[in-house]
Amino acid sequence: MSMIPDNPFSRAGGWCLYLAALGSLAVALPREFIVPGGAHFILLIGGIGLWRYSVGITHFVRGMYFLHHAYPILRRKARKLGDEGAPSHVFLMVTSFRIDAATTAQVYESIIREAIDCGWPTTVVASIVELSDEMLMRSLWRKLNPPERVQLNLVRIPGTGKRDGLAYGFRAISRAIPDDNAIVAVVDGDTVLDPGVVRKTAPYFKLMPRVGALTTNEFCEVKGSYLMSEWHKLRFAQRHINMCSMGLSRRVLTLTGRMSVFRASVVTRPEFISDVEYDSLKHWRLGQFRFLTGDDKSSWYSMMRLGYDTFYVPDASIHTVEHPPDPSFIRSARQLMFRWYGNNLRQNSRATKLGPGRLGWFTWYVLWDQRISMWTSILGLTAAIVAAIKYSGVILIAYLLWIGLTRLVLSAMLLATGHPVGPAYPLILYFNQIFGSLMKIYVFFRLDRQSWTRQKTSYSTDSASFQQRMNRWSSRIMTFSASSVFLATVMFIV
């Protein structure tokens, strides 16, 4: 995939190039080609494919229903609340560590302006590690000169990770003794708030008393190549559909650390703070280990465990500034997927134990599907390669044409999200499917391995200990065994 400048003419050229490639694949196919046992092969692979596509279509239909019908009804109800929907106090908490000064200044300024413009009593809580960030915040505070109803609380923390920064900030809010109508917006250090985001989100806590937290729509600015930029934008477009789908059930599966809003009465609970700060997993093979990353998953799991609902506000948006961890697209994707999927699978292994009674049947199924999909997503490609080796390479050409057409349709569906759709999307969709599945399989058997891309920290273990040597070798054996069973199953099908 070439680096195409982001303008309408190059986008049109990119789409023409993609359609030409599909046409070439179609022309390369012979008019007639018969595979021995082909009907049996198509029935099995096609059946699995229909099941996988049905999951995506279900999310899309649910998401569109939420976005265009269910949510507008709730929005009208929230607006009718008027002053009754106003929170007693707003806490805007930001955690910042090792982010460049230009981005930090953008973030801090957007937070202070939002505190001024929302019109409610507000406290900006800044969990800061470095003195330069404190000086920058104080300088912007003097420049913007907020009114008396807006206060600043600087919390100096050690540079031991975001979880500690959140816990220090939550305890600082606890000392203010907020009442039941106060809310806390947790903002990451690379997140620029769009104007009005607080006023758009606050009334839903009054409208839906069971909602303990909600999250917002995301757009991004990527400090990297065209391909890296398109990859992130595609991710946020897919996120929007999935969030809308899960928002319909009020079971949003992650409270993104970029910008989520909580009831103050929840984040000040000692058990919630402990869940975020000291979250850990006891694994049957890998032992017990603390979570280094994934605070957004920990906060979501704590919400579910404590009996709260979670929600999504699609018209309240933020813009994040993304800094890829490596100049290479593949290496960046590998590092980011390792972190994202590790966080996801570590929470998944215990979230399903909450059961459909707490999660709801659809959410419970989606969590189980996250484990199954890492194998089914590579089934088609593996089967096509095996069949091409056994019968003819024409099968692989037909498979690639099918992939190209279906990913074109999926990309077109993403236009309904309001996010931009570029000519690289079909290719990136398939890259995410295959490369993402391989990363999930790798991570699934190594849940104890963690890393934080920005802070360059990792979960420290004694690599010389017997337990760690056993973990490493058992992970390799489990990965090899599971992959062998999968490949044997595909060969049997073919």
40 and 101 belong to one structural domain = no
Task: For residue 4, tell me if it sits in a domain.
Answer: no
Give the chain's domain count.
2
Which of the listed residues 285, 310, 331 is the one where a domain comes to its end?
A: 331
174 and 297 belong to one structural domain = yes
Which of the listed residues 283, 307, 331 is the one where a domain comes to its end?
A: 331
In the predicted structure, residue 363 carries a pLDDT above the cut 90: yes
279 and 148 belong to one structural domain = yes
SS (H, E, C) the chain: CCCCCCCHHHHHHHHHHHHHHHHHHHHHCCCCCCCCCHHHHHHHHHHHHHHHHHHHHHHHHHHHHHHHHHHHHHHHHHHHHHHHHCCCCEEEEEEECCCCHHHHHHHHHHHHHHHHHCCCCEEEEEEECCHHHHHHHHHHHHHHCCCCCEEEEEEECCCCCHHHHHHHHHHHHHCCCCCCCCEEEEEECCEEECCCHHHHHCHHHHHCCCEEEEEEEEEEEECCCHHHHHHHHHHHHHHHHHHHHHHHCCECCCCCCCEEEEEHHHHCCHHHHHHHHCCEEEECCCEEEECCCCHHHHHHHHHHHHCCEEEEEEEEEEEEEECCCCCCHHHHHHHHHHHHHHHHHHHHHHHHHHHHHHHCHHHHHHHHHHHHHHHHCCHHHHHHHHHHHHCCCHHHHHHHHHHHHHHHHHHHHHHHHCCCCCCCHHHHHHHHHHHHHHHHHHHHCCCCCCEECCCCEECCCCCCCHHHHHHHHHHHHHHHHHHHHHHHHHHHHC
313 and 296 belong to one structural domain = yes
116 and 254 belong to one structural domain = yes
Which of the listed residues 303, 331, 359 is the one where a domain comes to its end?
A: 331
For residue 52, give its domain range: 12-56+368-493
62 and 39 belong to one structural domain = no
Model pLDDT for residues 42-73, shown as the tens digit of each residue: 666 667 777 888 888 999 999 999 999 999 99
Task: For residue 347, tell me if it sits in a domain.
Answer: no
373 and 325 belong to one structural domain = no
45 and 76 belong to one structural domain = no
- In this prediction the pTM is 0.89
283 and 406 belong to one structural domain = no
117 and 238 belong to one structural domain = yes
Taking all residues of the chain, what is their mean pLDDT, rounded to a whole number? 88
Model pLDDT for residues 364-385, shown as the tens digit of each residue: 999 999 889 999 999 989 988 9
303 and 162 belong to one structural domain = yes
Task: For residue 342, tell me if it sits in a domain.
Answer: no
Task: Report the pLDDT averaged over residues 129-157.
Answer: 93
**Residue 253: CATH number of its domain:** 3.90.550.10
Task: For residue 362, tell me if it sits in a domain.
Answer: no
Task: Report the pLDDT averaged over residues 96-111.
Answer: 90
418 and 443 belong to one structural domain = yes
Model pLDDT for residues 282-304, shown as the tens digit of each residue: 888 888 888 888 888 999 999 99
Model pLDDT for residues 170-194, shown as the tens digit of each residue: 999 999 999 999 999 999 999 999 9
